[in-house]
Amino acid sequence: YFGTSFLTDSDSFQQVVVKIERPTYNKPFLGGFRNMRTGVEFHNAGSQTRRKERPNKGTQSFCRGTQTVWEKNKLQQTRNTTSTQMTKIGLYVSNMTDKLISPGKYFTAEEYHKRRLEAVIVLQKYFRRWHAINVVQNLREEKKLRLMWEAEEESRKIKDKEEKLRREYERKLNPKTKEDFELLYHDLELWMQEETERINRTLTGAERKAALCALLERETQLIACFERHKLNANEENQHKAVLHLLDKCAQPKRWKAYDGKITEMDTQDTLRARELLEIYRSISTKGIPKDERTDVLLTLRCTVKEYECKLTQEIVELIDREVDLMSREVKECNLEGLRKRICTLFLQYIKIPKVNPKVAELLKVPQDPLKLYKNVYFCHSCENYLPSTEFVIPANSHTIGRCRLCYKLDNEARRRESYLKYRLILENLRNTEADYQDDSKIVFLVQLPDLQYLIENIWNCQSALSAWGELYDLVMVRWDKQREWSPWNTILLTKEEADAHLKLRNLEEAYEAAFIFRIKQKHIRAKHYFAQIPAMSAFLHRSDNQANASSYKTHNSSMKFTEVKEVH
């Protein structure tokens, strides 16, 4: 507060109290000017009065004030006074640099537009020529790339076929699996049929009988050779299976973390299994020096003594016997039987759950004898009681029948068929159906004999489109990919045809009516065959309901589309 006085009308002074409110913020700079002579600066000032409060309406409202600026652009030409000096009396201006301008030919608006049209036509000609050259060049490039791709595909197919034949030849030359021996026996049967036909066609009488006897002798020699290879392969496969079992026991526990990293943890059981695996590998290794062999045997002796049992005593006796024989300089070829016996007994020792707790989870024979009574069936051919996994049960079978070993022995002795091609088709089909992730079940109920019947009797072992008959190149896919695979919703095609078929959206538009009719007939035949199987009847009715529902949806969508077109 401060006081001030001012002059009134009666030539007297009156004192007034003035209240000044100090602002709590710095006033903004609103511009100003400076006196050029004195250099004094003058700032613009502003005052803010208290605004009038709006009446309260009872509701909360939000507002935003905007400040707009009106801008206006206007071009102005400054005044420029010029003058021209001409020749006159008393003044001479030279005309040496002057130019004589004469008016050109006048043309009308029609002529102007005609001239522009002709220029546009010329531009269009050149543009179309350039565009045509580019189109032709692109077509040539596409044709070149297409021919290169076709050549690469052809060469790839030839290489794949050669590689397949080479692998098949290697499998026949060095058979190791049961599929390899199936191929050998199948080729033997084909060779026997050709030779028998040739002998019956060319020879008669005693010469024919002698040739057939020689052929039978040759077949016997080949079968004996196959069996020798089978013994060697079984021994090698058994050793690999034992190492795989022990390695599986020694694997650490793994789990996936939230960040995607794999965490591994070794337990006492895995460490114990790993120790036993290393000892087994050491004692089964051949050709090591005597000092190392002695150290391995001593380590084995200390290991087996940790758990006393009947096997422990036998293993310790055999170890002492081998050490004694090695000290007497006995040849290694005479010790092979003893060493094999030590490996066999130590393997039995490893399979004891008290010695190796991890092996109890992987043994096929349960430790509880009561579990052996479940899912055990009698094979009437070999007269053995075997678990259910050892029996091949087709989908249309009502009894257990023979075991896998009896089927295999009967196939080698009589029919000698090779199921490798059908097995590859079935494995590829199951992997493809698993990728759909739509809970497909029928494909896992179909067994190898069922698929063989489906391919041979219904699809005639050839592609439905190109009639290609090489089974290695054929695959089975869904006919309608919106429904799960079944024998009445499938088609046999080559790999390239299957890829193109699965990309189709509408089968009726892609294929002719006659082709679709032939496929439907094959589906009806497959449905009649598999309808005899009780397990397939429920899936048969479910697939019919799915087909009716899909056709109903298609019909409704087409009707809606027709109504929309009529409204438009």
Among the candidates 296, 329, 363, a domain finishes at: 363
Question: What would the mean pLDDT of 314-332 be, rounded to a whole number?
Answer: 88
Residue 412 lies in a domain: no
Residue 243 lies in a domain: yes
Q: Are residues 431 and 527 in the same domain?
A: yes
Q: Are residues 345 and 284 in the same domain?
A: yes
Cα separation, 521 vs 513, in Å, equals 12
Residue 351 lies in a domain: yes
pLDDT band at 373, cuts 50/70/90? low
pLDDT band at 554, cuts 50/70/90? very low
Q: Are residues 235 and 305 in the same domain?
A: no
486-538 pLDDT tens trace: 888 899 999 889 999 999 888 888 899 999 999 999 999 988 888 877 667 66
**DSSP state string for 133-186:** HHHHHHHHHHHHHHHHHHHHHHHHHHHHHHHHHHHHHHHHHS--SHHHHHHHHH
Question: Minimum mean pLDDT among 87-101, 220-234, 462-476: which range?
Answer: 87-101
Question: Minimum mean pLDDT among 85-89, 189-193, 412-416, 560-564: which range?
Answer: 560-564
Q: Are residues 296 and 238 in the same domain?
A: no
Among 84, 112, 119, which Cα is nearest to 98's? Answer: 84
Do residues 305 and 293 touch, judged by C-beta distance below 8 A? no
Q: Are residues 529 and 461 in the same domain?
A: yes
390-409 pLDDT tens trace: 887 665 566 777 888 888 88
Question: What would the mean pLDDT of 376-393 be, rounded to a whole number?
Answer: 81
Residue 563 lies in a domain: no
HSE of 535 in the Cβ direction (CA atoms, 13 Å)? 14
Residue tagged 């004898």 (tokens): 369
Residue 458 lies in a domain: yes
387 contact partners, CB below 8 Å, separation of at least 6: 364, 375, 376, 377
Question: What would the mean pLDDT of 265-286 be, rounded to a whole number?
Answer: 89
Phi, psi of 403 (to 5 degrees): -80, 175
Residue 357 lies in a domain: yes
Q: Are residues 434 and 534 in the same domain?
A: yes
Q: Are residues 293 and 246 in the same domain?
A: no
pLDDT for the residue 565: 37
33-68 pLDDT tens trace: 888 888 888 887 766 555 567 777 777 766 655 556
pLDDT for the residue 12: 66
Do residues 1 and 17 touch, judged by C-beta distance below 8 A? yes
The average confidence (pLDDT) of the chain is: 82
What type of residue is 78?
Answer: T
Examine the pLDDT at 121 and tell me if it is beyond 90: yes
pLDDT band at 150, cuts 50/70/90? very high
Q: Are residues 455 and 497 in the same domain?
A: yes
Predicted TM-score (pTM) of the model is 0.61
Question: Minimum mean pLDDT among 95-99, 118-122, 153-157, 343-347: which range?
Answer: 95-99
Among 347, 290, 289, 286, which Cα is nearest to 314's? Answer: 347
- The better pLDDT of the pair 186, 64 is held by 186
Q: Are residues 200 and 299 in the same domain?
A: no
Q: Are residues 468 and 508 in the same domain?
A: yes
pLDDT for the residue 560: 40
Question: What would the mean pLDDT of 105-127 be, rounded to a whole number?
Answer: 93
Question: Minimum mean pLDDT among 59-73, 88-102, 199-213, 266-280: which range?
Answer: 59-73
Question: What would the mean pLDDT of 88-109 be, rounded to a whole number?
Answer: 85
Residue 233 lies in a domain: yes
Terminal-residue alpha carbon distance, the chain? 84
Q: Are residues 429 and 542 in the same domain?
A: yes
pLDDT for the residue 537: 67
Examine the pLDDT at 85 and tell me if it is beyond 70: yes
Examine the pLDDT at 563 and tell me if it is beyond 50: no
The proportion of the chain whose per-residue pLDDT surpasses 90, expressed as a percent, equals 20
Tokens of residue 152, six digits: 């690469």
Q: Are residues 346 and 425 in the same domain?
A: no
207-228 pLDDT tens trace: 999 999 999 999 999 999 998 9
Which CA distances in Å does 38 have to 31, 42, 44, 228? 19, 11, 18, 124
Residue 518 lies in a domain: yes
* Total number of domains constituting the chain: 3
pLDDT for the residue 63: 61
Segments forming the whole domain that contains residue 236: 178-250
